[in-house]
């Protein structure tokens, strides 16, 4: 970092400190911000390309507009690092001891310059229409600015937002940050029309945004501070809806990230230090690799497989090699989870074998489609839910809600494998059957039972009695099956109890026969699930025993948005350690 | 009905029977179909305007295309009556004894000509992309046709579908049935651009659909069978995505419905027999009237109220008079529930008082927005959930899932009033407080406690002990509070038990103190809720008592899609009569 550069960032504590800088200083400041981001993100991990692409635009926004009176809403908000640096939180980037002080997303509790806590995409325009409407009713005059990436624009909420923003009749400024990229490649008609606009400097015969009613502006170089300031100044205080289409480069200023955008969207700590090392070609077996191998094999056998996802192939390691081999059997619908679920249902209806990969936190973007488009029609599509479970994630990306979400919808068979053998059997069953809409909760860490699984999963809701004991029965679901084993062992050690251990396999549906059979020789049933208790798996077991004298203890996470709390702390809070569970059992006996 | 006309419909048993008719005969057939629909719907009630508008288009579709090989997907499918008449189900319209045999929506179990069971909007394009993708993978050659109304086009799923359909690269034919009308007036930029297209015979400078990549066709008169056939024939077997923008008249052929479209969207039995009677101006008090009075009063007092809804003002009786009086304080976002919830959150953030009315069945279209845009941000918007409860509705419009859906999301306070007094107090509290995202489950039928409610609802999760008894405690939620009273009375009569009666008021959150206090003098707790048991209110009570010897019986509906089953049958099945509940209690004691 140069001497001068360091001095510039030192001068900036609020956006006001930018307002008297020369353009040349704004460029230098941008360089400094970029350097801070590169260094910090390479240390902590985090969103890389999206932030590098927004440096100059953020500087120009704060130069022209007056935050927090003027309100800037970031979509997803994983591109807000420059904004955080300029709004009193630069210590989170300059001081390594403070690197973890601020979240990677906008957070109203951190700063009045942040309007919403946001981590799912496609929300900024709709949220901004609300700010604008309230301003108009109350009588305010500020600018309302929604920033949205081209990738986020494909999500239904964003399009609903555009439709409404266009006819708001007052000030709202939508900035489409077009970097020609979603998380993976961009998809669909909107991607094409943005490309055409870019290729024609914003002048085309059929302008999508003008058609909707926006006053449209195009910025060819979203890193040119003069053009940014010129356009932002032009539209500031406009009395009608504006759409600025701004062309930027994802990863700007860090060449490898500009060339190879997808792997630099989000990076692990130290990534930039190992750019020239080739990755170990010996990849360990994982649920991701098993899934890919299975899908490729079935395609080669002639099954009409369609592997679908909504812009997050990286979550399942559906890398370029896999996509190429799958060819037309691979579909990325863009950030459009509703489309993904409905399309899967349509594929299944027509005899195709749809396998939709989705991250637990994002399946909730398609509840109505799961219910109406899929389950109500009983179409035999397969949904693979990845990353489900309690974690130290940001509040915006928790994966604890998929069981309450999916399992209370009629007709869906939701399965929880505990090992490779079960997962392969369940996946194969689901793909080949034609009767049920199926979801499978894919565990994070691989494990092996060493037993061949020959189960016919069409015989619904048959739990597996793993070890028959007495007094206490442990029903340990999916990724918590190993925890169930540990509880069983500790019960033997500590209390001399030979507990029963059950692997329920089915999240949806009770094995009433087995549950009934427990009554004669057990007084306590313990349920373990890796997700929210409220509305989850265990409560249904408890309800089953409601009219009996069986005591039931349910373990899982509480109904809360936790934010970057360590797994250890969460497990202690939720009594999710074998020791705490055995203590509870001891107290209950 | 004329002699000739009768003969034509008699000849049509499958769509093949149309194919050799003269154009003039197709017109006569259309007249017959229209007459059948008018007569039948006026007898049974049902969707009126949408079906009258689709008569000629449906005749032309079946004339040109070959269903069921060619696949026609109807959006919402409340415009499929002509299709049903032409595909072997005319007895449901010609024979009054068969009027209730077929549902008012497409239903694959009725006919191979129906692809999906559909009742929520905006799904047809996405579903059709799935049919098309599977066709391409499997190697089929049929046409895939998605029909969607202009009102449905504003829903996020439809827009996600358009984005994907446009780049499908093979045959898909999207027909936008533009009748210039949603359920109420149409809203937003898309409405405006359709109007511009209509006004210019499909030729405009910025064509939204061309911008997305569609090959665009315009039909100025969607009741002119020659133009319909001409255009459909042109695009049949196209090898690329087609969009046909077809202008029709909602209510075509029945003048009052063409002039005054909103009340004729769906009509009650006998509506057409009483067209010239003015409605009784003395309207009984209802939760709808109370809500309207409250909102108007608060607006007049200067509160920055914004009453929002997503295209269904009729559900809450937000009639033209109310909308006019509310002025800029009223917003209809169109069919766009995600937008509605996010906008409400934005309004609340900016200090406005957002009150969103929504039907229980449709709140599930915005789960992610409830969770991420609203609850995660704790913004103090108010959501009024109407029609929640068990009913004899179609499977597509059940209102039993809102409790599992909303109540397992952290932070939302979901309230269940049992009478006018409580509802008014809760609504007023919700609008005035600034700490919580609140939802209120508005009962259908008005009732009165006769007691002034002075509760401070900020003091969360305090249940109301209505009558303190012993042995059995009945916790009767919201609209089932009256049922709780009946159970209490019958318990006294039949078993001589003086049961405790509790009005929990809060769907979210347990009054642990009160629940604990029941342990000393009660052995059975009974919960009653007007909705799905799985993931619902009662299970949480049961979990609370899991480690105690308290027995708990939960009453509500099962996890299932019921389809037009009478309330009486459902109540018997679910043991939701006081007699059956008291028998269960007797067995459990």
Evaluate if residue A1 carries a pLDDT over 70. Answer: no
Please compute the mean of the pLDDT values over residues B543-558 and round it to a whole number: 98
The pLDDT > 90 percentage for chain A reads 94
| Cβ atoms of B492 and B518 closer than 8 Å | no
pLDDT single digits (tens) B203-234: 999 999 999 999 999 999 999 999 999 999 99
Q: Do A312 and A248 have their domain in common?
A: no
pLDDT single digits (tens) A486-539:
999 999 999 999 999 999 999 999 999 999 999 999 999 999 999 999 999 999
* Same domain membership, residue B334 and residue B241: no
Cβ(B506)–Cβ(B533) under 8 Å? no
Q: Please state, in angstroms and rounded to a whole number, the distance separating the CA atoms of residues B548 and A524.
A: 11
Q: Is residue B447 part of a domain?
A: no
pLDDT digits (tens, 9 = 90+) for A409-458: 999 999 999 999 999 999 999 999 999 999 999 999 999 999 999 999 99
- Encoded tokens for B502: 């509790």
**Does the pLDDT of residue B185 top 90, yes or no?**
no
E strands of A288-348, at which residues?
Answer: 305-309, 330-332
Q: Per residue in B510-538, pLDDT tens? A: 999 999 999 999 999 999 999 999 999 99
- Max Cα distance, chain B (Å): 82
Q: In whole angstroms, how far apart are CA B44 and each of B99, B135, B266?
A: 7, 38, 11
Q: At what angle do helices B23-44 and B55-64 cross, to 10 degrees?
A: 130
User: Reduced to 3 states, what is the DSSP secondary structure of residue B440?
Assistant: strand
Please identify, among B202, B235, B252, the residue that sits at the C-terminal boundary of a domain: B252
Residue recorded with tokens 């930018």: A18
Residues in B touching A193 (Cβ below 8 Å):
211-213
Question: Is residue B452 included in any domain, yes or no?
Answer: no
Q: How far is B560 from chain A (nearest CA, A)?
A: 5
Q: How is residue A373 annotated by DSSP? A: I
For chain A, give the mean pLDDT: 96
Is B169 inside a domain boundary?
yes
- Chosen for mutation from A125, A130, A300 (greatest number of chain B CBs closer than 10 Å) is A130
For A329, the closest chain B residue by CA position comes to B137
CB A567 within 8 A of CB B564: no
The Cα–Cα gap between A364 and A410 comes to 16
- What does the alpha-carbon distance between residue A240 and residue B438 come to, in Å, rounded to a whole number? 32
**Is residue B454 one of the residues assigned to a domain?**
no
The pLDDT of residue B4:
45
How much is the ipTM here?
Answer: 0.96
Q: Residue B266 and residue B532: Cα distance in Å, rounded? A: 27
**CB-nearest partner of B137 from A329, A546, A560:** A329
Residue A94: domain span: 3-262
How far, CA to CA in Å, does B447 sit from each of A213, B171, B419, B429, B484?
A: 47, 56, 5, 20, 14
Both tokens of B357, joined, read 């009315």
The answer to whether the Cβ–Cβ distance between B367 and A369 falls below 8 Å is no
| Environment class of A334 (CB within 10 Å of its CB; exposed 0-12, middle 13-18, buried 19+) | buried
Of chain B, the end-to-end C-alpha distance in Å amounts to 65
Phi first, then psi, for residue A425 (nearest 5°) are -65, -45
Q: In terms of domains, do A36 and A150 share one?
A: yes
Domain boundary among B205, B226, B252: B252
As a whole number of angstroms, the distance between CA A470 and CA A521 comes to 6
Instruction: Specify the pLDDT at position A315.
Output: 94
Residues B302 and B387 in one domain: yes
Tell which of B412, B442, B472 closes a domain: B442
CB count, 10 Å around CB of B492?
14
Say if residue B246 is in the same domain as residue B349.
no
d(CA B311, CA B338) in angstroms, rounded, equals 12
What's the rounded mean pLDDT across residues A26-46?
96
Average pLDDT, rounded, for chain B: 96
What is the rounded average pLDDT of the residues A377-393?
A: 98
Q: Residue B333 and residue B344: Cα distance in Å, rounded?
A: 11
**Cα A327-A333-A339 angle, rounded to 5 deg:** 135
Chain A nearest C-alpha distance from B145 (Å): 12
Question: At A182, is the pLDDT very low, low, confident or very high (cuts 50, 70, 90)?
Answer: low
- Residue A488 and residue A384 share a domain: no
Nearest to B188 among A108, A167, A546 (CB): A167
Q: Nearest residue of A to residue B208 by CA position?
A: A208
Whether A5 has a pLDDT exceeding 50, the answer reads no
Contact B559 A408 (CB under 8 A): yes
Query: Are both A213 and A333 inside the same structural domain?
Result: no
Q: Are residues A166 and A251 in the same domain?
A: yes
Tell me the C-alpha distance between A178 and A153, whole Å.
10
Q: How far apart are CA A193 and CA A183, in angstroms?
A: 18
Question: Which of B190, B304, B336 is opposite residue A212, by nearest beta carbon?
Answer: B190
Q: Could you read off the pLDDT of B453-468 as tens digits, one per residue?
A: 999 999 999 999 999 9
Closest partner CB to A377 (pick from B116, B155, B160): B116
3-state secondary structure of B120: coil
| DSSP 8-state assignment for residue B285 | P
The H-or-E segment that residue B178 falls in is strand B172-178
What element of type H or E holds B32?
A: helix B23-44
Query: Taking Cα atoms as reference points, which of A424, A457, A437 lies closest to residue A369?
Result: A437
Measure the CA angle with vertex A15, ends A10 and A16; round to 5°. Answer: 95
Q: How many domains does chain A have?
A: 3
Contact B342 A161 (CB under 8 A): yes
Q: How far apart are CA A164 and CA A371, in angstroms?
A: 26
Residue B165, domain CATH: 3.40.50.970
Range with lowest mean pLDDT among A183-192, A201-210, B247-256: A183-192
Please check whether residue A451 lies inside any domain of the structure: no
User: Chain B residues with CB inside 8 Å of A533's CB?
Assistant: 543
Do A213 and B192 make contact, defined as CB atoms within 8 angstroms? yes
Least confident of A4-8, A583-587, B426-430, B434-438: A4-8
Interchain pair A365, B368: CB under 8 A: yes
Sheet strands (E) in A468-534:
471-476, 500-503, 522-532
Coil/strand/helix, residue B474: strand
In this structure, the answer to whether residues B247 and B118 fall within a common structural domain is yes
Q: Say if B183 falls within a structural domain.
A: yes
Whether residues B318 and B239 fall in one domain: no
d(CA A538, CA B526): 19
Contacts of B536 in chain A (CB under 8 A): 535
pLDDT of residue B480: 98
Of A74, A89, A86, A69, nearest to A15 by C-alpha is A86
Asked if residue B265 is part of any domain, the answer here is no
pLDDT of residue A3: 47
Compute the average pLDDT of residues A252-278: 88
Suggest the residue from A154, A160, A326, A532 to mutate for an interface test with chain B (most B CBs closer than 10 A): A160
The structure's pTM equals: 0.97
Give the domain CATH number at B566: 3.40.50.920
B436 & B471 share domain: no
Q: What residues pair up with A501 in beta bridges, in sequence order?
A: A467, A474
Residue B49 lies in a domain: yes
Both A346 and A212 in one domain: the answer is no
């Amino acid at each position: 970092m140069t001497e001068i550069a360091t001095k510039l960032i030192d001068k900036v504590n609020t956006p006001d400190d930018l307002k008297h800088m020369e353009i040349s200083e704004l460029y230098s400041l941008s360089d400094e911000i970029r350097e801070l981001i590169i260094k910090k993100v390479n240390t902590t991990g985090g969103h890389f390309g999206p932030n590098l692409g927004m440096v100059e635009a953020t500087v120009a926004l704060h130069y022209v507009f007056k935050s927090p009176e003027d309100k800037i809403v970031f979509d997803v908000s994983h591109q807000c690092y420059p904004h955080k640096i300029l709004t009193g939180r630069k210590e989170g980037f300059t001081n390594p001891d403070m690197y973890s002080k601020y979240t990677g997303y906008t957070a109203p509790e951190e700063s009045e310059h942040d309007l919403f806590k946001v981590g799912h995409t496609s929300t900024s325009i709709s949220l901004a229409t609300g700010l604008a409407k309230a301003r108009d009713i109350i009588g305010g005059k500020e600018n309302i600015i929604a920033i949205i990436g081209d990738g986020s624009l494909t999500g239904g909420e964003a399009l609903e937002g555009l439709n409404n923003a266009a006819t708001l009749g007052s000030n709202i400024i939508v900035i489409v940050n077009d970097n020609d990229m979603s998380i993976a490649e961009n998809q669909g008609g909107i991607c094409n029309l943005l490309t055409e606009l870019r290729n024609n400097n914003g002048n085309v015969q059929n302008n999508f945004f003008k058609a909707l009613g926006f006053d449209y502006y195009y910025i060819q170089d979203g890193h040119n501070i003069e053009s940014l300031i010129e356009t932002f100044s032009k539209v500031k205080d406009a009395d009608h809806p504006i759409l600025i289409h701004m062309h930027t480069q994802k990863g700007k200023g860090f060449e490898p990230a500009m060339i190879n955008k997808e792997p630099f969207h989000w990076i692990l700590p130290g990534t930039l230090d190992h750019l020239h090392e080739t990755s170990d070609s010996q990849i360990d077996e994982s649920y991701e690799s098993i899934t890919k191998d299975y899908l490729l094999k079935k395609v080669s056998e002639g099954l009409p497989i369609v592997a679908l996802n909504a812009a997050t192939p990286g979550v399942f390691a559906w890398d370029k090699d896999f996509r190429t081999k799958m060819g037309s059997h691979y579909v990325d619908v863009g950030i459009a989870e509703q489309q993904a679920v409905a399309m899967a249902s349509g594929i299944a209806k027509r005899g195709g074998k749809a396998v939709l990969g989705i991250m637990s936190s994002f399946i909730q973007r398609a509840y109505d489609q799961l219910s109406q488009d899929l389950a109500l029609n009983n179409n035999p599509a397969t949904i693979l839910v990845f990353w489900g479970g309690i974690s130290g994630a940001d509040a915006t990306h928790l994966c604890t809600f998929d069981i309450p979400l999916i399992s209370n919808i009629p007709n869906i068979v939701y399965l929880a494998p505990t090992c490779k053998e079960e997962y392969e059997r369940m996946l194969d069953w689901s793909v080949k059957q034609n009767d049920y809409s199926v979801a499978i909760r894919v565990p994070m860490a691989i494990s092996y039972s060493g037993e061949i699984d020959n189960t016919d999963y069409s015989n619904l809701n048959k739990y597996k009695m793993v070890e028959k004991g007495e007094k206490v029965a442990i029903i340990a679901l999916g990724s918590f099956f190993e925890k169930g084993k540990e509880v069983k062992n500790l019960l033997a050690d500590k209390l001399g109890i030979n507990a029963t251990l059950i692997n329920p396999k089915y999240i949806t549906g009770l094995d009433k026969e087995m549950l009934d059979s427990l009554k004669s020789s057990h007084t306590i049933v313990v349920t373990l699930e890796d997700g929210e208790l409220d509305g989850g798996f265990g409560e249904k077991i408890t309800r089953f025993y409601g009219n009996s004298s069986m005591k039931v203890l349910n373990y899982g996470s509480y109904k809360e948005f936790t934010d970057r709390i360590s797994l250890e702390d969460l497990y202690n809070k939720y009594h999710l350690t074998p020791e705490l569970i055995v203590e509870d059992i001891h107290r209950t006996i």
